[in-house]
Structures are given as structure tokens and as C-alpha cells.
Structure 1
Amino acid sequence: MKKQIVLFISLLLLLSQAQGQSLKKSDFKVVGYYSLKAAMTADLKTVPFDKLTHINLSFLNPDTLGNFNQDLSALEPFIKAAHKHGVKVLPSIAGGGRHEYYHKLLRDENRARFINDLLLVSLKYNFDGIDVDIEGSDIDENYENFVVGLASVLRPHKKLITSAIAIFYKDQLSDRALAQYDFMTLMSYDHTGPWRPSKPGPHSTYEHAMADLDYFRSQRNIPKEKIVLGVGFYGYGFGPELTSKAASMNYGQIVKTFPGAEKTDQITMPDGMIMYYNGEETIRKKTLLAKENASGIMIWQILGDAAGDRSLLGLINRVAYSK
């Protein structure tokens, strides 16, 4: 009888610990952007589903007339594998850069059809919602009505609506539009880059992350539960002269090419160029910042990570889910 009681108590403790871990993972999001094209042919054993809560597939866009002609059936194994691990999958629309045809699609006369087509895509391929990554000059006077309309058709089907936002176009994002999202991923990177060779330096510092979070939390009153801090798994290189062409490398390439690079945030390359990125310590600090002031970490993008012990995604998980 005593053995049975001991076994019963042990079982209860194990269940309690498992529930605690599950609750912690559901409370802290780890959102990873992953190439839609790569997902169609991915070796599923190499995708870190166990370290993610959400995957945003970049990017799903219609043609200039608004038609979604892509056959996405090849995504079925990827989506099934993600769901098996409890990971939600959302296609992300638009993306960085200009998509002039979005101005036409979001107008009154075209908006309802475009929204309905997004809903149909979500239902047909068993996506968990839509991620809206309309940025910069693509945001116009019709953006708010588009977001309100999209939220109204997704929610009855228990689908998420999320968005990637940035401080660079903060004045274009209305409070009403932001209120529609289940959560927003804050792109706290690209504060400089190859498009700005006259401003060399780090593009994604810890201080940038603090300032970006402070604006959206304090001045736009976005609650902690609805904002996720974005980090970049890549770097930008400048120099040695202001006239030198800038370059970019993903984090995995950086640490593979330059042993020990994971221990710092910048390296000087053989030609004198300085590559700026986020190493382990900065990612650790940003994850702790997100635990305190946000509800998760977003990564642009998962395929830029390093393997093994130098994986930043692995580090994020260890920091996020530790006591």
C-alpha cells in the first residue's frame, strides 16, 4: 500500500512539473520566420519545432491583380509536423520592400474580396491565421480598415491575426489598427544597413530594443501580453571606407567563418570591414528584457541560425524557460 501511495505521489509531481513547463512555454512566445519556399521542401527532422511556438512563413503574396495562384499543397507535411509539436503556422503577407499593388488591393472596392481570399487560403491549407507584414510606404489610409476587416473574418474561425511592426513607421500605425492584432512582433533591427553606408555601426543593439519597447509600451499603451520583441539572426558589415560597399551575413555564416564570433557583437574582417550583429550575450540580455517587458521573442529568420551549441534559438529557449 505504501509503495502505491509513493508511486501515486511521484506521478502527481511529474504531472505537475510537465504542466508547469507547458504553461511557461505557452506564456512566452518564440516566433520564428521561415522561408515559405524552403518549408515546401524542408527536411522536417531539421526544423526546430520543439523550440518554437509560432512559425511565420515568409512571404505569401498575390499577383498584382490580387489572385493567389500558388499551389501550397506541398506545405501540408510541414504544417502537420508543426501542429504535432503544438506550433502554430501563419503565412506572412507583404514583407519588407515596396509592394505597390497593395494600395489597390486595400481600397474600398477591392478590400472585401482580398480579405475573403486570405480567409479562404487560411482555411484551405489549415493555417492558424494571417501575419500582416505591410511596412513603410505600403501602409496607407486604407490599412486600418483592411486590418479591422481581416480580424472580423478570421476570429469567428478561431484564426489569429498578427503583425510585424517597427518604430520607423510608428506614425502610420493607428491605435485602432494595432488594437485588432492578437499580438505584434516588434522588428527592433535595421536601425541602419547597407542602404545607409554613411551611417556605419550596429543595427540592432540592446539599447535599440529597450527604446523600441518603451515607445510601444509606454506611449502607445500596448500591453505586455500583446507585444513580442524581434531579434535578427544576421549582421551588416561596413567599411573600411565610407565609400566601401556594405555587406550582410547571417549569424550561422559569421560564427562558422570566424571562430569565437559568438562571444561578441562585432568582428573585423580581413579586408577591414566591420561586421555588426548580435552574439550570445546580447541575445541573452534581449531574451531577459522580453521576459520582463514583452510576451516573447521573434526571430528574423530561423534559417540564419548556427548549429549545435552556438545556436541562438537554443540559447533563447534556455533563457526563456529557466526559472
Structure 2
Amino acid sequence: MLLKIRRKLTKLAAVVSIAALMTTWLSQDGQVKAEAISAQGKFNMSYMYFGSPSTYVSQVNKSGQTLDVVSPSYFHLDSVGSLQLDDSLQASFITEMHAQGKKVVPFLSNDFDAAVGAAAITNRDTLVDQLVQAIQSNNLDGINMDIENVDAAYRDQYTDFVKMLRDKLSSSKEVSVAVAANPTGTTKSWIGLYDYKALSAVSDYLMLMAYDESYPGDPTPGPVASMPFVEKSIQYALTQMPSEKLVLGVPFYGRYWNQDASFNGSGVSLQTLNKLMQTYQGTTRYDSASQSPVATFVIQPNDQETTISGKTLPAGTYTVWYENEQSLKAKLQLVNKYKLKGTGSWSLNQELASTWDYYSLWVDGFYFADMQKHWAQADVLAAANRGWMVGTSSSAFSPDTALTRAQAAAIMVRVLGLSGESVSASAAGFKDVPASHWAQQDILIAKQHGLIQGISDDRFAPDQSITREQMSVLLSRVLKLQPKSGTAAKFSDVPADSWSAEAIAAMSSNGLVDGYAGGTFRPGASLTRAEMATLLSRVAPLLAK
């Protein structure tokens, strides 16, 4: 019994010591000396074109917290290049997106009509005023310019069009430009309409349409966006503009061909293709050269009919080049490789629901396969983006394993911005933390600053787990929290005279920790890595004060 009491007192003293010293450090200048308080990852936007406006909110909600901007098809042009507002524009949708912290930036389209696009550019003085008025009166957040199939002769005039918009809209409103992929750097045809260098200088970003390598009417089946095509397009763009202004466009669709050429490169959403493959028992292969999947299915004369975009598919053999999880992940990794601003996608409601299980992780450069459907994905992503937590390997986060003392030390060092500090030559190490240990430097830095001590003079126990009550005591003291009267949860397994009761009450009443079904807290249970990420998300606003 005496040994148990000594152990408890030692544990309590260690936690108190850690918390007290952290409180002193955190109180300097009234701010946290943190490496990165922002959880903001890469920028993501998506176009909205398909489906009824009544489904727009549900379309966005399927993407969770991934999207920063949605770009609906509100702006069109008439034959003389004047603005036409689409009936899909609904104030309720804009209000809901703003409530979710998302911007609504409609795109201006000429629907690939060269004459209409040229008229709009020529009529830009009047059109700019119309657009500014529409944006302001409808509480929109800017405009995405999507003028396509206009000859390169209009190149300078188009840049001037964008510049006029930028000059007349407030800086809080986005002005972005969708530009064609240009892997060869041509200045001819409609691909040459876009002066990347000049446009990037007068807009917030360029959305690189790195798709339609194969196009409607293309007689030769091929990929929508092969990796060589996409990567060369990025590389050329970066010779003309800074990487932080380039957004990589990815396709949520495929293109299909049939044997009698009645369909050459017609578009099909990934959702529809999935149904086709199930209905006609299609087969798939992965083309390694293009890093694109290719599907084949056969419609027999007596098979169930399928209609796409109002056209019935006749009997025959079909080839489809499209995107799947493997090919999309490969493209998303290019964002991190080339340090791009983020991604855009054409278009929302064409993707498979599973796309959002991995999208943010891969865009932000965290390839954690075990986080794709995990309840704490958003918190883990936030902690990773802040630089506070890292994976246990390049492909795993291990969310449900216990947080170790070594990991806790490393996290606290990162949160306090101490990473990379030199360790005194006279600093005594620990016998169980050799120089080869992954966290040796962080443990020594934490010890040097008095943030965490060993379990004895020469032992640290780096692989020993930290409990829920220990972390509650530590964080409550760091944040100088007091229990809020009448709001603290009562946990049946946390007696009022427990050494951690007040801290758990403080954390609970401030909404930072939860209990389990049945009214328990499980104070002695190990804190998991996912739970630590969630705690960090909850305390981050308090740390920033």
C-alpha cells in the first residue's frame, strides 16, 4: 500500500511540475510560442454544375470540411457578351455556405462558345460593371473566370478584362481564372489565350484545368488526365508564375467510346460509371504509363437500357478512361511535390462518396491509410497541419494506439516552438533513451526546459503510455482552467477526493474532454493518439489567447 501511495505522489508531482513549468513558459508575453497555431491545410475548391439547386447543400456536405470555396454555375453570357444570371442562384444556399465558413464564388462561362467568349471580352467595360453589381448585390465572394475556346488573338484583352475586375472589386472578393492545361507552352490556338504570367499577377490564383487531354469528339480513346500530361502542365505553369498561386484542377469524370464511334469521348461521371460497371459486369485495368484506369463493358442487345445526358447507349463494346482512388491520389500528391496552393475539381456531385475519405489527407501531404474513415480525421489533419503531430510512419498515423511519453514530449516541444533548439553539452540523458532513439532530441529539450522529467534520475520510460487523467491535469494547469459552476460532468469513476478530480472537472466544464456511455471517464485508461489530436484541436483556441 505504501508503495502505491509513493507511486501516486510521484506521478502527481511529475504532472504538477510539468504543468507549472509549462504555464510559466506559456505566459510569456501572454502568448504561446508555438511553431504553427493554424490548422489550415491546402486550399480546395470545386465547381458546381450538375444536379438541382435543392441538392446543392447536400452535395457540399458530402465533402465534409474539405472545401474552402464552391463555384456554382450562376453566371452566363448572352450572344452579345452581357451577363445572364442563372435561375439556380439562391440566397439560402449562399447564406448556408457562409454559415459553414465556405465562400461562394460563381464561375463565368461562355459554354465553350468562341463567338460568345469573344463578345464578352470585347464588351468587357460593360460586363465588368454588371459582374461587380451582381457579386455585391447577391453577397457573393468573388468570381472565377472560365472563358474557353477563344483564340489567342484576344490574349492581352482577356488579361485586361481580369485586371479590370480585380481593380473594381474589393480585395476581400476573389478573382480567379480557370486556364487550359498547356504542357508544351504553346501561345497559339485557344490554349494560348491565357497569359499565365500576366493573369497570375492580377488575380488571386489560376485554376489549371489539367484534364480533357482526351476531349468530346476525340476519335482515339485515351486518358482524361494522364500523369505525364498533368505534370508537364504544372511544370510549364511554374516557369511563368509562383507555385502559391497555382491550383491544380482534377477531374471527377471519365470519357467513353464505343465500337461504332457513335460515342467518341463523351463525358460520364464517376458515380454513373460505377453503376454501369455493376450493371454490365465490366472489367478494369490500370494503365501504368498514364497512371489511369481503363474500364471495358459490353451491352448486349437484350440488356437493360442506360441513358446518359438524354442519350440511350446502344448495344456494343465500350471503353472508358476515367479516374479512381489510385489515380486521384497520384495527382493529389503533386500538390505537395510542387508546393501548389491547392486543388480545384470538375465537378462536385460527379465524384464517388469515398473520394472525401482521403482527399484532404493526400492534398495536405499526409498519406495515412488508417485515417481515411476514422472519426478523428479532421482533428488529426489539423494537428498534422499545425506541425504538432506526425505519423508513426509515412503511411500510418496509428490513431487508436496509446500515446507514449516520448510522443507526448515531442508534441509539447512542437507546440511550444522549441524544435531544433540545441541541448546543453552537460545535459544528462536517460539510459533507456539512446542517441538512436527517434525522440531523443525532443526528450532532452523537454527536460532542459523542465517540461517533462524522467520516472527516475536515469530512466524516462519513453514507451510508457500517458493516461487520460494525467493529460487532463497537465492541460488544465497549462490553460489555468477552473471548473465552471454547475457545468462539470459527474463521472462515477472519478471520486471527489481524487488527485485529478478538479482538473477533470475543469476540462469537462470547459468542453475539452468527454466521458463514456454510462457516465464514466476512465481516468487510468491510456490516452490514444486520436484523442490527443482531438484535445489539441479543442485547446488550440485557448492556447492562442
Equivalent pair of 1:58/1:95 in contact (CA under 8 Å): no
Distance 1:262 1:299 in 2: 23
Equivalent pair of 1:111/1:146 in contact (CA under 8 Å): yes
Which 5+ residue runs of structure 1 have no aligned equivalent? Answer: none
Equivalent pair of 1:205/1:278 in contact (CA under 8 Å): no
The match for 2:173 is 159
Larger CA deviation: 281-290 vs 132-141: 132-141
1:226 to 245, 255, 259: 245
The root-mean-square deviation of aligned C-alpha atoms, in Å, is 3.2
- Could you list the per-position Cα deviations for residues 189-218 of structure 1 after superposition, in whole angstroms to 9, with x for gaps in the alignment? 111123111x22112112211111011112
- Could you list the per-position Cα deviations for residues 140-198 of structure 1 after superposition, in whole angstroms to 9, with x for gaps in the alignment? 252122111111111x352110011013544322332332110011111111123111x
Larger Rg computed on CA atoms: 2
Equivalent pair of 1:36/1:57 in contact (CA under 8 Å): no
The one-letter code sitting in structure 1 at the alignment partner of 2:335 is: A
Shift of 1:296: 0.8
The match for 2:143 is 130
Distance 1:137 1:59 in 2: 21
The match for 2:128 is 115
The one-letter code sitting in structure 1 at the alignment partner of 2:224 is: H
Which 5+ residue runs of structure 2 have no aligned equivalent? Answer: 1-11, 27-31, 183-189, 287-292, 299-315, 367-383, 385-545
2:343 to 293, 297, 300: 297
The match for 2:331 is 286
Shift of 1:238: 2.1
Shift of 1:80: 1.5
Distance 2:272 2:245 in 1: 32
Distance 1:73 1:96 in 2: 16
The one-letter code sitting in structure 1 at the alignment partner of 2:345 is: I
The structure whose residues are more often helix, as a share, is 1
What SS is found at the alignment partner of 1:273?
A: strand
The match for 1:97 is 112
Shift of 1:9: 7.3
Report the CA distance shift for 1:129/1:151 in structure 2 as closer, same or farther (over 3 A). same
What SS is found at the alignment partner of 1:281?
A: helix
The one-letter code sitting in structure 1 at the alignment partner of 2:263 is: K
Equivalent pair of 1:234/1:304 in contact (CA under 8 Å): yes
Show the 5 A alignment for 1:39-78: 40-42=53-55, 44-48=57-61, 50-68=65-83, 70=85, 75-78=90-93
1:254 to 273, 277, 282: 273
The match for 2:539 is none
1:22 to 29, 33, 39: 39
The match for 1:171 is 192
**How many residue pairs are counted as aligned between the two chains?**
305
Equivalent pair of 1:262/1:280 in contact (CA under 8 Å): no
Distance 2:165 2:205 in 1: 14
Calculate percent identity across the aligned residue pairs.
Answer: 23
1:191 to 210, 213, 226: 213
The match for 2:263 is 245
Shift of 1:6: 5.7
The match for 2:438 is none
Distance 1:315 1:263 in 2: 22
The one-letter code sitting in structure 2 at the alignment partner of 1:251 is: L
Report the CA distance shift for 1:99/1:193 in structure 2 as closer, same or farther (over 3 A). closer
The one-letter code sitting in structure 1 at the alignment partner of 2:243 is: K
TM-score, with normalisation over the residues of structure 1?
Answer: 0.82
Report the CA distance shift for 1:43/1:215 in structure 2 as closer, same or farther (over 3 A). closer
Distance 2:335 2:283 in 1: 24
User: Given the alignment of the two structures, is residue 206 of structure 1 paired with residue 234 of structure 2, yes or no?
Assistant: no
What SS is found at the alignment partner of 1:162?
A: strand
The match for 1:274 is 319
